[in-house]
Structures are given as C-alpha cells and as structure tokens.
Amino acid sequence: MKSYLHQRSLLLRIELKKQEMYRKANVLGFTHPVVVTCSQELDQLLNRYQRKAS
C-alpha cells in the first residue's frame, strides 16, 4: 500500500512539474536557464519513478 501511494505521489509531482515547466517555457522560451532547471527536476522525478516501477 505504501509503495502504491508513493508511486501515485510521484506521478502527481511529475504532472505538476511538467505543467510548471510548460508555463515557464511559454513565457521564457525552452532554452532559458530557469526552464532548463525545471526540466532537469522533472527528469529526476521521472528517473525516480522509473526505478520504482522496475
């Protein structure tokens, strides 16, 4: 149960981070350092989720 909740929490955080990144990219452009940092944070969340799913 705890693992399931952790995965759901990670999925929610991934979705929120993705939305944040797109909002920032629409204003600043995809290559702006703030957007790149947000993208890297999203990558870290995705990597954590992938490790849990394997």
Instruction: Give the model's pLDDT for residue 35.
Output: 98
Tell me the three state secondary structure of residue 30.
coil
- How many structural domains is the chain composed of? 1
Place of tokens 């797109």: 22
**Residue 21 structural domain:** 2-53
End-to-end CA distance of the chain: 17
Instruction: Give the model's pLDDT for residue 3.
Output: 86
CATH number, position 32: 4.10.280
Q: What is the mean pLDDT of residues 25-32?
A: 98
Report pTM: 0.89
Q: What is the mean pLDDT of residues 24-49?
A: 98
CA dihedral 43, 51, 12, 33 (to 10 degrees): -10
- Which residue from 50, 30, 51, 52 is spatially nearest to 39, judged by alpha carbons? 30
